[in-house]
């Protein structure tokens, strides 16, 4: 498979065309940004680690019946994926209070939520990805009511699958951000699932093993990403 024209460059990945119009080349970068691109840096080896983690997680989800865009991992930092039309919503699923939720609702970081919380953010860099509810989504026509219902059901199911999957690797899935796309009218999970897009805490020590190490200058950022991959490879090999 050859890399074709560049279709899109985001903060963490570049998407290229391939000879197959239904398939794109998703290349993961080492660059990292936070706070809507205001903080910038590089995390050595991140591209390869996130490509591998996304590959493993999406294979797990496909086996559990969640349609997703993964076709195959092509090389260290490249996944071949279905070409989808991205629904411009980020779905955040939270199991434990952290990040923006602690600020918005005044909950202490680490508060276990009695049930998973679902949130939607409108994917729009100029607006800083604002929080939106179902009426905003309807009025802005970001998704149809049927799509929104499917997004909610898939997101809850994905969380139910991933909490024990990461727990088997000694990781608490604190929260995660999901994106979906459509291809031939079918909704499928897209983008990535990695320490860039989830919070992972060590199940016993509570140590942060995700992008919060970069966001908050906690040090050992690349090591934390490697640790997540190492544990998942060990966990899935069992
Ligand atoms: P938040 O607490 O900052 O709202 O983040 C919730 C989750 O979503 C966390 O796992 C990080 C992830 N996330 C992204 O993947 N991209 C983003 O742009 C933001 C703000 C959060
Ligand atoms: N990815 C987002 C950005 O680049 C925010 C984040 O992950 O904190 O700004």
CA 47 to ligand 1 centroid distance, Å: 18
For the chain, give every residue range classified as CATH 3.30.470.20: 85-219
Tens of pLDDT, residue by residue over 93-126, are 999 999 999 999 999 999 999 999 999 999 999 9
CATH class of 85-219: alpha beta
pLDDT at 11: 96
Lining ligand 2 with CB less than 6 A are 11, 33-37, 211, 215
Residue nearest to atom 1 of ligand 2 (CA): 34
Q: Where are the alpha helices (DSSP H) in 38-98?
A: 46-63
Query: Is this prediction's pTM over 0.85?
Result: yes
Q: Where are the alpha helices (DSSP H) in 14-169?
A: 46-63, 99-105, 134-139, 145-167
Residue nearest to atom 13 of ligand 1 (CA): 197
- What length is written for the chain? 238
Question: Do the Cβ atoms of 109 and 102 come closer than 8 Å?
Answer: yes
Tens of pLDDT, residue by residue over 72-93, are 999 999 999 999 999 999 999 9
Name the phi and psi angles at 45, rounded to 5.
80, 0
For helices 145-167 and 46-63, what crossing angle results, to 10°?
110
Q: Is residue 109 helix, strand or coil? A: coil
Q: Which CATH architecture has domain 6-82?
A: 2-Layer Sandwich (3.30)
Helix, strand, coil % over all residues of the chain, rounded to 5: 35, 35, 35
pLDDT at 1: 83
Q: Nearest ligand to the C-alpha of residue 34? A: 2
pLDDT at 55: 98
CA 157 to ligand 2 centroid distance, Å: 25
Measure Cα distances from 224 to 49, 127, 131, 171, 200 in Å. Answer: 10, 31, 29, 12, 10
Closest among 110, 56, 111, 102 to 79, alpha carbons compared: 56
Pocket probe for ligand 1: among 117, 197, 200, the residue whose CB has the most ligand atoms within 8 Å is 197
CA 158 to ligand 1 centroid distance, Å: 16
For the chain, give every residue range classified as CATH 3.30.200.20: 6-82
In this structure, the number of other CB atoms found within 10 A of the CB of residue 164 comes to 9
CA 12 to ligand 1 centroid distance, Å: 14
pLDDT at 17: 98
pLDDT at 16: 98
Give the residues of the chain that fall short of pLDDT 70: 236-238
Residue nearest to atom 4 of ligand 1 (CA): 100
CB-ligand 1 contact for 4 (6 Å cutoff): no
d(CA 11, CA 13): 6
Token look-up 């699923």 returns 93
pLDDT at 236: 60
């Amino acid at each position: 498979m050859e890399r074709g024209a560049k279709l899109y460059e985001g903060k963490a990945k570049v998407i290229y065309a391939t000879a197959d119009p239904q398939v794109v080349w998703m290349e993961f970068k080492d660059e990292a940004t936070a706070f809507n691109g205001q903080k910038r840096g590089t995390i050595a080896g991140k591209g390869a680690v996130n490509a591998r983690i996304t590959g493993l997680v999406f294979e797990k989800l496909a086996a559990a019946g969640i349609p997703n865009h993964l076709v195959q991992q092509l090389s260290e930092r490249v996944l071949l994926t279905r070409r989808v039309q991205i629904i411009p919503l980020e779905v955040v699923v939270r199991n434990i209070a952290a990040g923006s939720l602690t600020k918005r609702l005044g909950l202490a970081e680490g508060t276990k939520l009695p049930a998973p919380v679902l949130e939607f953010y409108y994917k729009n860099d100029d607006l800083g990805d604002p929080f939106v509810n179902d009426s905003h989504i309807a009025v802005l026509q970001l998704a149809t009511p049927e799509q929104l219902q499917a997004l909610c059901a898939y997101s809850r199911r994905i969380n139910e699958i991933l909490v024990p999957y990461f727990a088997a690797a000694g990781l608490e899935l604190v929260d995660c951000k999901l994106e979906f796309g459509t291809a031939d009218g079918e909704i499928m999970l897209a983008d990535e699932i990695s320490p860039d897009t989830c919070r992972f805490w060590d199940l016993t020590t509570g140590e942060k093993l995700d992008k919060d190490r970069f966001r908050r200058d906690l040090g050992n950022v690349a090591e934390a990403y490697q640790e997540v991959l190492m544990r998942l490879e060990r966990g899935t090999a069992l």
